[in-house]
Amino acid sequence: MALTTARTAPRDARAADASPAPSDGSRPAATREPGREADGLAVASFVLGLLGLLVMNILLGPVAVVMAVIALARRTSRRGRALLGLALGIADLVVLAVLVTVNGTVSWGLAG
């Protein structure tokens, strides 16, 4: 029988390649799916843009726009949702501009 030995890298080179596992149980950033975070941003921008039409459009509109742009830049697989979030965020800002111009206020109500 012939024994073969595998050639191994020096000890210090192997130690440099090994990265410690995160203590919170999540996978390292390099092994996560790249589009998953962008998909979450796309959904969040849509929800915040929709919510911004009803309340706090001065805050939620710009946040929805920024999140949608980041999701589109990261090549989300939910491109339509990101575009809707972008459109709703812009609509929030348009509603805000109309309210400030017409009523001189940044809030509105259904009771009139």
C-alpha span between 89 and 83 (Å, rounded) = 10
Question: 85 lies in a domain?
Answer: yes
Residue 15 has which token pair?
A: 């130690």
Q: Which of 12-16, 66-70, 107-111 has the lowest mean pLDDT?
A: 12-16
Question: 107 lies in a domain?
Answer: no
In total, how many domains does the chain have? 1
C-alpha span between 2 and 105 (Å, rounded) = 87
C-alpha span between 86 and 64 (Å, rounded) = 6
Which pLDDT tens digit goes with each residue over 8-47?
555 555 444 455 555 565 655 555 565 688 889 999 999 9
Residue 29 has which token pair?
A: 């950033």
* Mean pLDDT score, 63-84: 93
Domain that holds residue 47: 33-102
Question: 46 lies in a domain?
Answer: yes
Opening angle at CA 38, ends 36 and 44, nearest 5 = 105
Question: 74 lies in a domain?
Answer: yes
Question: 92 lies in a domain?
Answer: yes
Question: 79 lies in a domain?
Answer: yes
Query: Is this model's pTM higher than 0.75 or not?
Result: no
Question: 11 lies in a domain?
Answer: no
Contact status, residue 65 vs residue 86, Cβ threshold 8 Å = yes
